[in-house]
Amino acid sequence: MNAMTGTWTLVGPLADIPRQGARVVKTRNGCIAVFRTAEDEVFALNDSCPHKGGPLSEGIVHGTSVTCPLHAWVFDLNSGTAQGADVGQVPTWPARVEGGQVYLDIGQLG
Amino acid sequence: MTKKKLVVIGAGMASGRMLEHLLEGGGPESKNWDVTLFNGEPRGNYNRLMLSPVLSGEKTYEQIVTHDDDWYEAQGIACRFGEQITQIDRERQVVVSKGGETPYDALVIATGSAPFIIPVQGKDLPGVCTYRDLEDTNAMIAASRPGAKAVVIGGGLLGLEAAAGMAARGAEVTVIHLMGHLMERQLDPSAGYLLQKDLERRGIRVHCKGATKAILGKDRVEAVLLDDGTVYDADLVCMAVGIRPEVRLANDAHLEVGRGIVVNDQMQTSDLAIYALGECVEHEKQLFGLVAPLYDQAKILAETLNGNTAAFQPVQTATKLKVTGVDLFSAGDFAEGPGREDIVFRDPGRGVYKRLILEGDRLLGAVMYGDTADGSWFFDLIKQGKDVSDIRDTLIFGPAFAAGGAAANPLAAVAALPPEAEICGCNGVCKGKIIQAVEGGATTLDAVRATTKASSSCGTCTGLVEKVMALTLGDSFTANANPPMCKCTDHTHEDVRRMIKAQGLKSIPAVMQELGWKTVGGCASCRPALNYYLLADWPLEYRDDRQSRFVNERNHANIQKDGTYSVVPRMWGGVTTPAELRAIADAADKYNVPMVKVTGGQRIDLLGVKKEDLPAIWSDFNEAGMVSGHAYAKGLRTVKTCVGEQFCRFGTQDSTGLGIKLEKLLWGSWTPAKVKLGVSGCPRNCAEATCKDVGVVCVDSGYQISVAGAAGMDVKETELLCTVPTEEEALEVIAAFAQLYRENARYLHRIYKWVAKVGLDWCKDQIADRATRKALYDRFMISQSVYQTDPWAELAERPADWAPIKTLTLEAAE
Ligand code: SRM
Ligand SMILES: Cc1cc2nc3c(=O)[nH]c(=O)nc-3n(C[C@H](O)[C@H](O)[C@H](O)COP(=O)(O)OP(=O)(O)OC[C@H]3O[C@@H](n4cnc5c(N)ncnc54)[C@H](O)[C@@H]3O)c2cc1C
Ligand code: SF4
Ligand code: FES
């Protein structure tokens, strides 16, 4: 789908998100963490860890994973699933970069 | 039959190839056209790619001309070189130049690109050039006298070829690159690191993360100034920061233009009589910057003009850098992404790095450095989208293995080595000698190191030595009892620290490449450790990587269970003033702090501060003269003191004053784990100095300095390091000891754990030796010259970084 039509919401310039870091988007239903990997891929996940609600946007980003800042659960940014022995799932949202701008498809939240 | 008039604007790589296809075919159609070729440059077609060998002196201009006068004559082309087209009049079907109007039946726009000029002060000074044509090349050749200074802005393909070319002619070249590593569009950080190393070996200086602020000079360029204040002298500045499609004519003529001139599959623009090809076009939103797809466009356009139907389909491109002796290759898509996996191979000894990116059973991209022999084979697999599941295990070893070579069993490879094969390059130890040592009873790595010296210098061969041991000992071999740092590497923390120093590794990608990291970019466990080791070992050269830090150190505040933060300003030695207390009270009111608490470290904690408020609250504290208490840091926390001789009837020395001096000396320093001090004025020890990382107990004759206490998860009394007579010496000893700890401990080990490993006696010896102590102290102070700054002085200037990138609740409420 074209970013200019449909449900894609403009979030801001990719350059405003640090490489291997994240920024949050505030929505009516809580924050969404928008991650940027070392290789400029973007991913959007709810900014709340299924363990005890830790802000995933503050975790260390490595490859396409993030480690929760509170108790170090690791999540795959693609699927939002917890890695290793931990069990949990973070809701994910489609994200894309076009012309240096980040767009999220967060449906009615936008 | 009357011929149709074809006018071509631009004699570049794309139009040259197109004219060959159109006119050389020999078929009857090739005689249909009456061609006029305009070119802005005062010459005809030449091979623009080969300007780099001309610059470096490996070729002459004459050798790179692709079409000479004889050719144009034979094809009957009217050449109008050095004649810029200034306007296209679509209504009357003519183009305008200084020679007047030229009518066309069909028009081809092939104007290529214009180099992008960054809009900084001084960009128009004489001595500033770009890198696009022969004039630029000649300007650089003229400026590249031995000893001349050249600065290239831009560390991409073009910039690096310019830099290498001028360096080959003897100029002193500096490359300034905005991003974290060179050629970031084609290479990942590991390959970028190897490239930088190769260029530096040729004497080219590379400055990454450098933003140009201004080009300085009066009548001509003299220097380049960066945002961070660095100044590089320059006799010549080459800007190679990117290109933009040259679309001015098309724009003025109101053709459809996006980023480039929009064309369809037949290379036709929005005007049926006008075609375009080359770097000036945009096809299905895509731009082109390499010649391979342009050559395809040339073929398609020739077919279209001859009335045949053909459709342009962009192909994947692969990149090589034309610098003699630099071997890199990049193709396809190498970004990490949903469902993608990496295969990584590193050979530190040879400076080789290879990475394949797979999605499902298909190869998507490849990045290689140092050994690119298999590049075209991989490129083929990428283009064809072949199923590689059968050869996946050995894919990275290239076609030789895929054709059915032996399975890549690393142990088998070592087994196959002859006894005289060298294992440890530093100490010249061969395989046979290690086997002998093992058979002679050296069954641990340390024992092998002691008897043969293998793996005792740079350490890179440790894995090989262990494999030889495993082969010799069979099942009874247990690898290094000390576990590796994390799953990304086989090396222990200690080995990594040793090798960072021995091999002079100064960046995270350098460590990962030279020590053979098994993952592309590390993990949440090794990255913070490496970041610490590098900043501790190379304070002046390494730049802290904020994204490799845990949340508290990244945000300079302690995260709480609900995602808010706590704020603890420094209270030197636990002493405060009414003014400071007022500032704290004001901040607590202003930012609605839910709890104000006195900590166990003799200072005040404001708990529950919102992340967005951190820059503002800290800028208020900075204004009141207060700095971060680093209550979150693997660094100096607090120095607890008691009242001491100033007021206490038992006090023997000014324990409060010494505590303040110590905190002012040590604050801001990063350490492997947190460091807490206590200074008590007498052995009654009211500051609990004897359970701190470092404790000072004042006595009549001076200062008892003891170390390695603990009062957290373990409780342990400190042990005496030394007793010194003066305050001055106490300060020097403690800073030197802190440096000893900083340089030697593994990340996250508190002082008591580290001392238990290295032994208190060893620490005592280091500190007792005057020269060693002084050198440690000096190195500590060098590090402090960089790191003893309040982080908020800079961070509070950027409040936007701490706020959400976007708030949708407001819009949604409308
Ligand atoms: C605020 C404070 C408690 C208080 O309200 O008094 C505190 C609060 C925390 N301590 Fe502490 N410690 C505090 C004094 C202490 C002390 C007492 C002291 O320093 O005199 C100790 C025992 C002495 C020692 O360190 O050996 C102490 C031993 C620990 C430990 C165990 C360390 C160990 O090596 O065994 C941890 C856990 C850790 O660091 O991994 C810890 C960790 C923590 C953390 C950082 C937990 C965390 O990671 O979030 C708490 C942060 C709360 C916050 O957001 O501010 N805290 N903590 C004290 C801050 C002192 C300051 O001004 O900086
Ligand atoms: C130093 C260097 C090294 C390179 N190395 C490589 C490489 O290794 N591999 C690779 O694939 N690519 C490389 N490239 C890129 C490659 O050269 C270009 O992609 C290619 O030249 C583009 O062809 P083009 O015909 O679109 O434009 P150009 O070759 O730039 O030709 C455009 C021509 O149009 C003329 N012109 C513009 N406006 C007007 C006007 N109004 N009137 C008349 N004439 C006009 C210009 O003077 C120019 O001669 C390199 C480029 C440079 C500069
Ligand atoms: S003892 Fe320290 S770490 Fe434990 S709850 Fe109290 S403040 Fe937190
Ligand atoms: S809240 Fe994320 S790991 Fe506990």
Distance between alpha carbon B325 and the CA centroid of its chain, in Å?
22
Whether the CB of B551 is below 8 Å from some CB of chain A: the reply is: yes
Which positions ≥6 away from A77 have C-beta within 8 Å? Answer: A35, A37, A43, A45, A61, A64, A65, A66, A92
Amino acid, res. B227: D
For residue B806, list chain A residues with Cβ-Cβ distance below 8 A: 11-12, 25-26
Q: What is the per-residue pLDDT for B810?
A: 52
Instruction: Please name every residue paired with B509 in a beta bridge, in sequence order, or none if there are none.
Output: none
Question: How does DSSP classify residue B569?
Answer: B
Give the C-alpha separation, A48 to A46, whole Å.
Answer: 6
CB B251 within 8 A of CB B260: no
Amino acid, res. B530: L
Of B504, B506, B508, the C-alpha closest to B517 is B508
Q: State chain B's maximal CA–CA distance in angstroms.
A: 120
Lowest mean pLDDT among A57-61, B393-397, B773-777: B393-397
* Contact (CB<8Å) A38/B807: no
Please tell me which residue of chain A has the smallest CA distance to B338.
A78
Per-residue pLDDT of B249-284, as tens digits, reads: 999 999 999 999 999 999 999 999 999 999 999 999
Please give the number of the atom of ligand 2 that sits closest to the Cα of B280: 26
What angle, rounded to 10 degrees, do the helices at B760-768 and B770-787 form? 90
Give the C-alpha separation, B182 to B209, whole Å.
Answer: 10
For residue A65, list chain B residues with Cβ-Cβ distance below 8 A: 523
* Contact (CB<8Å) A11/B524: no
In this structure, whether the domain defined by B556-628 belongs to CATH 3.40.250.10 is answered with: no
Select the more confidently predicted residue: B111 or B802: B111
Mapping DSSP onto H, E and C, the string for B612-672 reads HHHHHHHHHHHHCCCCECCCCCCEEEEEEECCHHHCCCCCCCCHHHHHHHHHHHHCCCECC
What angle, rounded to 10 degrees, do the helices at B445-452 and B431-439 form? 120
Whether the CB of A4 is below 8 Å from some CB of chain B: the reply is: no
Q: Which string of DSSP letters, residue by residue, matches B388-453?
A: -GGGGGGGGG-HHHHTT-----HHHHHHTS-TT-EEETTTTEEHHHHHHHHHTT--SHHHHHHHH-
**Cα separations in angstroms, B144 against B139, B238, B586:** 9, 12, 62
Per-residue pLDDT of B478-533, as tens digits, reads: 765 677 898 899 888 988 998 898 889 999 999 999 998 988 889 999 999 999 99
Place of tokens 């995933």: A56
Write out the two tokens for B103: 């009518």
What's the CATH fold of domain B4-113+245-305? FAD/NAD(P)-binding domain (3.50.50)
Write out the two tokens for B181: 């590593």
* Mean pLDDT value across residues B413-427: 74
* Mean pLDDT value across residues B122-129: 95
Q: State the first-to-last Cα distance of chain B, in angstroms, to the nearest integer.
A: 70
Pairing of strands A30-36, A74-76: unpaired
* Contact (CB<8Å) A109/B546: no
Q: pLDDT at residue A4 above 60? A: no
Whether the CB of A27 is below 8 Å from some CB of chain B: the reply is: yes
Reported as a pLDDT band with limits 50, 70 and 90, residue A18 is: very high
Pairing of strands B558-559, B565-567: antiparallel
Give the C-alpha separation, A72 to B550, whole Å.
Answer: 10
Amino acid, res. B505: L
Q: Whose CA is nearest to atom 3 of ligand 4?
A: A71
Which positions ≥6 away from A15 have C-beta within 8 Å? Answer: A100
Of B9, B26, B8, B20, the C-alpha closest to B295 is B20
Q: How far is B516 from chain A (nearest CA, A)?
A: 17
Mapping DSSP onto H, E and C, the string for B29-85 reads HHHCEEEEEEECCCCCCECHHHHHHHHHCCCCHHHHECCCHHHHHHHCCEEEECCCE
Q: What is the per-residue pLDDT for B405?
A: 45
b/e sequence A11-47, b meaning 16+ C-beta within 10 Å: bbebebbebbbbbbbbbeeebbbbbbbbbebbbbbbb
Please tell me which residue of chain A has the smallest CA distance to B550.
A60
Q: What is the per-residue pLDDT for B400?
A: 66
Write out the two tokens for B805: 């990138």
**Cα separations in angstroms, B426 against B430, B451, B717:** 11, 15, 43
* Mean pLDDT value across residues B6-14: 96
Please give the number of the atom of ligand 1 that sits closest to the Cα of B602: 62
Per-residue pLDDT of B211-232, as tens digits, reads: 999 999 999 999 999 998 999 9
Per DSSP, the three-state class of B61 is: helix
Of B133, B142, B120, the C-alpha closest to B227 is B120
Give the C-alpha separation, B484 to B518, whole Å.
Answer: 12
Reported as a pLDDT band with limits 50, 70 and 90, residue B381 is: confident
Confirm whether B128-241 and B556-628 share one CATH topology: no
Write out the two tokens for B104: 């066309």
Whether the CB of B814 is below 8 Å from some CB of chain A: the reply is: no
Per-residue pLDDT of B28-50, as tens digits, reads: 666 789 999 999 999 999 999 88
Q: State the first-to-last Cα distance of chain A, in angstroms, to the nearest integer.
A: 16
What angle, rounded to 10 degrees, do the helices at B462-473 and B445-452 form? 110
Q: What is the per-residue pLDDT for A36?
A: 95
Q: What is the per-residue pLDDT for B428?
A: 72
Q: Where do the domains of chain B lie?
A: 4-113+245-305, 128-241, 493-548, 556-628, 636-787
Whether the CB of B338 is below 8 Å from some CB of chain A: the reply is: yes
Reported as a pLDDT band with limits 50, 70 and 90, residue B26 is: low
CB B297 within 8 A of CB B317: no
In which element (H, E) is residue B253 found? none
Q: What percent of chain B has pLDDT over 90?
A: 65
Pocket of ligand 2 (CB under 6 A): B 9-15, 38-41, 48-49, 51-52, 84-85, 110-112, 131-132, 158, 161, 246, 249, 278-279, 289-291, 294, 322
Reported as a pLDDT band with limits 50, 70 and 90, residue B591 is: very high
Whether the CB of A98 is below 8 Å from some CB of chain B: the reply is: no
Q: Whose CA is nearest to atom 4 of ligand 4?
A: A71
The model's pTM is 0.68
Q: Left if phi > 0, otherwise alpha if psi is -120 to 50, otherwise beta: which for B524?
A: alpha
Helices (H), B238-281: 248-252
Select the more confidently predicted residue: B811 or A80: A80
Write out the two tokens for B15: 């139009």
CA of A72 to the centre of ligand 3 (A): 18
Give the C-alpha separation, B494 to A15, whole Å.
Answer: 37
Give the C-alpha separation, B640 to B765, whole Å.
Answer: 27
**Cα separations in angstroms, A65 against A13, A42, A45, A76, A82:** 22, 12, 11, 5, 10
CB B510 within 8 A of CB B193: yes
For residue A18, list chain B residues with Cβ-Cβ distance below 8 A: 546-547
Q: CATH top-level class for B128-241?
A: alpha beta
Per-residue pLDDT of B698-707, as tens digits, reads: 999 999 999 9
Whether the CB of B481 is below 8 Å from some CB of chain A: the reply is: no
CB B139 within 8 A of CB B236: yes
Per-residue pLDDT of B144-192, as tens digits, reads: 988 899 999 999 999 999 999 999 999 999 999 999 899 988 888 888 9
Is this complex's ipTM strictly greater than 0.90? no
* Contact (CB<8Å) B180/A19: yes
CB B138 within 8 A of CB B149: no
Q: What is the per-residue pLDDT for A108?
A: 65
Task: State the CB neighbour count (10 A cutoff) for residue B448.
Answer: 25
* Beta carbon pairs, A and B, within 8 Å: 112
Q: How far is A87 from chain B (nearest CA, A)?
A: 19
Place of tokens 């797979």: B358
Lowest mean pLDDT among B196-210, B323-337, B403-417: B403-417
Q: State chain A's maximal CA–CA distance in angstroms.
A: 41
Give the C-alpha separation, B441 to B448, whole Å.
Answer: 9
Write out the two tokens for B135: 């004039």
Task: State the CB neighbour count (10 A cutoff) for residue B110.
Answer: 31
Give the C-alpha separation, B266 to B312, whole Å.
Answer: 6
Pocket of ligand 1 (CB under 6 A): B 558, 560, 566, 568, 597, 599-601, 603, 605, 631, 637-638, 676, 710-713, 750
Which positions ≥6 away from B24 have C-beta within 8 Å? Answer: B30, B75
Q: φ, ψ for residue B257 (rounded to 5)?
A: -130, 130
Give the C-alpha separation, B84 to B105, whole Å.
Answer: 19
Amino acid, res. B808: L
Select the more confidently predicted residue: B18 or B811: B18
For residue B562, list chain A residues with Cβ-Cβ distance below 8 A: 53
Identify which ligand lies nearest to the alpha carbon of B238. Answer: 2
Per-residue pLDDT of B423-450, as tens digits, reads: 776 677 888 999 999 998 888 888 888 8
Q: φ, ψ for residue B162 (rounded to 5)?
A: -65, -45
Per DSSP, the three-state class of B194 is: helix
Q: pLDDT at residue B413 above 80? A: no
Q: What is the per-residue pLDDT for B408?
A: 47
Q: What is the per-residue pLDDT for B809?
A: 67
Amino acid, res. B19: L
Please give the number of the atom of ligand 1 that sits closest to the Cα of B711: 26
Q: What is the per-residue pLDDT for B812?
A: 39
* Contact (CB<8Å) A38/B563: no
Give the C-alpha separation, B318 to B296, whole Å.
Answer: 15
CA of B562 to the centre of ligand 4 (A): 11
Per DSSP, the three-state class of B338 is: coil
CATH architecture of B636-787: 2-Layer Sandwich (3.30)
Of B254, B8, B253, the C-alpha closest to B109 is B8
Whether the CB of B258 is below 8 Å from some CB of chain A: the reply is: no
* Contact (CB<8Å) B561/A52: yes
For residue A106, list chain B residues with Cβ-Cβ distance below 8 A: 808
Q: pLDDT at residue A1 above 70? A: no
Q: φ, ψ for residue B209 (rounded to 5)?
A: 50, 35
Amino acid, res. B180: G
CB B524 within 8 A of CB A74: yes
Which positions ≥6 away from B624 have C-beta within 8 Å? Answer: B579, B580, B583
Per-residue pLDDT of A36-53, as tens digits, reads: 998 889 999 999 999 999
Reported as a pLDDT band with limits 50, 70 and 90, residue B811 is: very low
CB B768 within 8 A of CB B698: no
**Chosen from B518, B550, B805 to mutate, greatest number of chain A CBs within 10 A:** B805
